[in-house]
């Protein structure tokens, strides 16, 4: 696959269709000039375009801006300051002066004075008036409302912050199911919300597992899932064939076994690099058996590292398993129909909720304005809320603790639903800087005395979690399992919808995060206990950086509402019915 095909593939995965060959040629030029691969360039474009243009559509002019504002600066920084060989002359002259002024500030502040005001050359530009903005909606920036700002050590300029205007406000990106005349609440319905099953308890110890116990738990999970797959396969096909858990079983005739897919990380695109790890422990070296996979005889497959599969094939030499067929459809049992007496609406928004250049949370508050207007019965907010990789979080310029910053933010959010029958569900992320950096993740701790009405309509849930809303089972996680699997998956099924196919892996493995080795801070003990589900949800919410989607898999409605920094969100209308039918649900993914 050449570079242009790689670029088209990566752009398409993030919902960006490139038809201009000049843009692709420019991308190839940038890759060669700045020594970045195609995937890295697309990821850089995604982050740059969503924060600057509020969309991912790419043009030649925008690509040139990316080069001047990002690539050239990074390249100059790497070349000039790598060894500290020389500094800017002006900085050498002005640094001692800044140090003197800073020392004067510190001394005067000890005695209660305000200190010396450091001269600045920042000049705020005049903002356009609201009338001027409404007359010219093509403008790309507008002044942000003074909703929320962090308590910071850094003095901010008097000029209000500007953020991009969402020119596609109200645009419907995708609609699924029955038509709906209005999303506004038509009647009150006090739905009951409970957590299904046991979630990650607060204050739990994590990352204290030994390697031996970690391997034992992985092998135990492999045995449980693999045996279930073989049992389902045997019921579907009543054939006389031998089943064994020994992946190195020597046989010239077909037999069936199970195990976990492994891959050489350096050659994941080469189908000859895939292996099958069994769950039978060797008595000699205390390790599981591993056998190479020959995939040349398999007509259809979709595999990724960590996937547990049942496989049929031959192994005449004990060293290579010649696979003929794979079986992966190990779905959980389906739930009972919901006990709904009326229709009710759900709104879903996923973090990050603020752009990378500020902590004003304007996308979040725009969502809350819509919530206050439409008054859905349930609002689901999925983290991260205070992402650890945010530049202002990393700069340590925030004067308050991250927990205090988070609690102020939630208090502001809950003011929008004050006096309204809107129940707010919050799911954390391991990327939240004020919370436990581990997956599975316990629920947020928050002082509800700081929340309006003590947060009586606020529900804190762990990640992942299964919710029971009047018998409607909703599975939620904040981890981007879709993206992580997509990076590692190999498949010879080009006609299928790739995102739906990857979501099907999560349902068929009955696990919110089936990929292994993980790219998250995974605690194996917690993962084994809390990341699997025995009951299939009616609705599964899988947030991802990948393109939004909504589809039905095994009678489960699967949704990716994308991220709020892209100004996207999802809303659902669930209708009562004697039998569960996902096509009876109205789902809309659109711009805020």
Summarised one tens digit per residue, pLDDT across range 238-270 is 888 999 988 999 999 999 999 999 987 666 667
Predicted confidence at residue 78, as pLDDT, reads 53
pLDDT band, residue 233 (cuts 50/70/90): very high
Residue 227 CA: distances (Å) to CA of 250, 282, 309, 361: 20, 19, 10, 47
Residue 142 CA: distances (Å) to CA of 129, 136, 151, 160: 9, 11, 23, 10
Highest mean pLDDT among 59-68, 153-162, 183-192, 262-271: 183-192
pLDDT band, residue 29 (cuts 50/70/90): confident
Predicted confidence at residue 101, as pLDDT, reads 40
The pLDDT of 138-146, averaged and rounded, is 44
Please give the angle made by the CA atoms of 448, 561 and 427, to the nearest 5 degrees.
25
Summarised one tens digit per residue, pLDDT across range 214-228 is 888 999 999 999 999
Does the structure show a pLDDT above 60 at 146? no
Predicted confidence at residue 212, as pLDDT, reads 83
Does the structure show a pLDDT above 70 at 273? yes
pLDDT band, residue 135 (cuts 50/70/90): very low
Highest mean pLDDT among 75-84, 130-139, 189-198: 189-198
Residue 106 CA: distances (Å) to CA of 103, 112, 114, 154, 498: 5, 10, 10, 15, 59
pLDDT band, residue 167 (cuts 50/70/90): low
Does the structure show a pLDDT above 50 at 121? no
Among the listed residues 405, 509, 512, the one whose alpha carbon sits nearest the alpha carbon of residue 463 = 512
Q: CA-to-CA distance for 105 and 116, rounded, in angstroms?
A: 6
Summarised one tens digit per residue, pLDDT across range 418-464 is 889 999 999 999 999 999 999 999 999 988 777 877 678 999 999 99
Does the structure show a pLDDT above 60 at 133? no
407 or 495, higher pLDDT: 407
Query: Tokens standing for 501?
Result: 């196919």
Q: CA-to-CA distance for 201 and 428, rounded, in angstroms?
A: 13
Output the average pLDDT for the chain.
Answer: 82
The pLDDT of 178-201, averaged and rounded, is 90
Report the percent of the chain where pLDDT is more than 90: 51
Q: CA-to-CA distance for 67 and 71, rounded, in angstroms?
A: 5
The pLDDT of 128-137, averaged and rounded, is 40
Q: CA-to-CA distance for 540 and 552, rounded, in angstroms?
A: 10
What structural domains and CATH numbers belong to the chain? 3-70 (1.10.8.530), 178-205+335-482+521-591 (3.60.21.60), 212-327 (2.40.50.430)
298 or 286, higher pLDDT: 298
170 or 167, higher pLDDT: 170
Among the listed residues 473, 475, 470, 486, the one whose alpha carbon sits nearest the alpha carbon of residue 532 = 475
pLDDT band, residue 543 (cuts 50/70/90): very high
Among the listed residues 325, 261, 329, 327, the one whose alpha carbon sits nearest the alpha carbon of residue 297 = 325
Predicted confidence at residue 398, as pLDDT, reads 82
Decide: 257 and 243 in contact? Cβ < 8 Å: yes
Predicted confidence at residue 116, as pLDDT, reads 42
User: Out of 68-77, 203-212, 304-313, which region has the weakest mean confidence (pLDDT)?
Assistant: 68-77
Predicted confidence at residue 268, as pLDDT, reads 62
Query: Tokens standing for 507?
Result: 């349902």
Q: Specify the DSSP element, H or E, that contains 211.
A: helix 211-236
Number of H helices, E strands in the chain: 14, 23
Q: Beta strand 288-294 with 320-327: parallel, antiparallel or unpaired? A: parallel
The CA-based dihedral angle spanning residues 146, 149, 151, 152, taken in that order and rounded to the nearest 10 degrees: -110
pLDDT band, residue 557 (cuts 50/70/90): very high
Q: Specify the DSSP element, H or E, that contains 49.
A: helix 38-52
Predicted confidence at residue 166, as pLDDT, reads 55
Query: Tokens standing for 17?
Result: 């269709």
Predicted confidence at residue 426, as pLDDT, reads 96
Does the structure show a pLDDT above 60 at 118? no
The pLDDT of 535-542, averaged and rounded, is 97
Q: Specify the DSSP element, H or E, that contains 131.
A: helix 130-135
Predicted confidence at residue 435, as pLDDT, reads 93
The pLDDT of 468-474, averaged and rounded, is 95
282 or 363, higher pLDDT: 363
374 or 53, higher pLDDT: 374
491 or 19, higher pLDDT: 491
Residue 83 CA: distances (Å) to CA of 77, 87, 264, 279, 582: 10, 11, 35, 50, 59
354 or 34, higher pLDDT: 354
pLDDT band, residue 281 (cuts 50/70/90): low
Decide: 496 and 521 in contact? Cβ < 8 Å: no
Report the percent of the chain where pLDDT is more than 70: 81
pTM: 0.77
């Amino acid at each position: 696959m050449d570079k242009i095909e790689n670029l088209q593939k990566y752009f398409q995965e993030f919902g960006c269709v490139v038809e201009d060959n000049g843009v692709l040629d420019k991308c190839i030029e940038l890759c060669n000039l700045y020594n970045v691969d195609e995937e890295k360039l697309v990821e850089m474009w995604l982050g740059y375009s969503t924060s600057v243009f509020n969309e991912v559509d790419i043009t030649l002019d925008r690509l040139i801006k990316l080069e001047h504002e990002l690539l050239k600066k990074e390249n100059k920084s790497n070349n000039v300051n790598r060894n500290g060989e020389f500094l800017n002359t002006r900085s050498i002259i002005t640094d001692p002066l800044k140090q003197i002024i800073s020392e004067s500030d510190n001394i005067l502040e000890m005695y209660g004075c305000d200190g010396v005001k450091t001269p600045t050359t920042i000049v705020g530009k005049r903002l356009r008036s609201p009338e001027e903005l409404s007359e010219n909606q093509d403008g790309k920036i507008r002044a942000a409302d003074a909703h929320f700002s962090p308590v910071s050590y850094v003095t901010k300029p008097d000029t209000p912050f500007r953020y991009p205007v969402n020119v596609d406000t109200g645009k419907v990106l995708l609609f699924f199911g029955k038509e709906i005349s209005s999303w506004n609440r038509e009647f009150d319905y006090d739905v009951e919300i409970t957590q299904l099953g046991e979630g990650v308890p607060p204050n739990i110890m994590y990352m204290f597992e030994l390697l031996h116990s970690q391997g034992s738990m992985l092998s135990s999970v492999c045995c449980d899932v693999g045996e279930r797959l073989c049992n389902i396969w045997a019921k579907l096909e009543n054939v006389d064939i031998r089943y064994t858990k020994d992946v190195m079983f020597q046989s010239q005739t077909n037999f069936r076994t199970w195990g976990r897919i492994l891959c050489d990380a350096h050659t994941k695109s080469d189908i000859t690099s895939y292996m099958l790890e069994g769950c039978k422990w060797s008595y000699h070296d205390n390790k599981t058996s591993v056998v190479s996979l020959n995939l040349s005889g398999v007509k259809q497959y979709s595999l990724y590292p960590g996937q547990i599969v049942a496989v049929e094939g031959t192994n005449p030499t004990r060293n290579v398993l010649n696979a003929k067929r794979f079986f992966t459809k190990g779905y959980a049992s389906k739930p009972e129909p919901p006990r709904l007496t009326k229709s009710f609406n759900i709104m879903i928004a996923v973090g990050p909720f603020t752009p990378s250049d500020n902590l004003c949370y304007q996308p979040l508050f725009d969502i809350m304005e819509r919530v206050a207007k439409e008054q859905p019965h349930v609002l689901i907010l999925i983290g991260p809320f205070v992402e650890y990789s945010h530049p202002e979080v990393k700069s340590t310029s925030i004067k308050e603790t991250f927990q205090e910053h988070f609690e102020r933010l939630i208090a502001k959010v809950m003011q929008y639903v004050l006096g309204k029958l809107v129940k707010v569900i919050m799911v954390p992320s391991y990327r939240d800087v004020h919370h436990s950096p581990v997956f599975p993740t316990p629920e947020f701790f928050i002082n509800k005395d700081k929340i309006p009405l003590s947060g009586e309509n606020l529900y804190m849930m762990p990640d992942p979690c299964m919710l029971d809303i009047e018998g409607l089972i909703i599975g939620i996680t904040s981890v981007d399992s879709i993206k992580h699997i997509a990076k590692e998956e190999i498949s010879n099924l080009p006609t299928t919808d790739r995102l739906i196919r990857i979501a099907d892996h999560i349902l068929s493995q009955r696990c919110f995060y089936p990929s292994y080795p993980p790219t998250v801070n995974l605690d194996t003990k917690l993962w084994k206990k809390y990341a699997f589900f025995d009951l299939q949800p009616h609705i599964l919410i899988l947030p991802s950086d990948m393109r939004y989607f909504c589809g039905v898999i095994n009678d489960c409605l699967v949704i990716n509402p994308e991220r709020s920094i892209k100004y996207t969100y999802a809303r659902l209308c669930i209708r009562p019915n004697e039998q569960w039918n996902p096509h009876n649900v109205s789902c809309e993914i659109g711009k805020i």
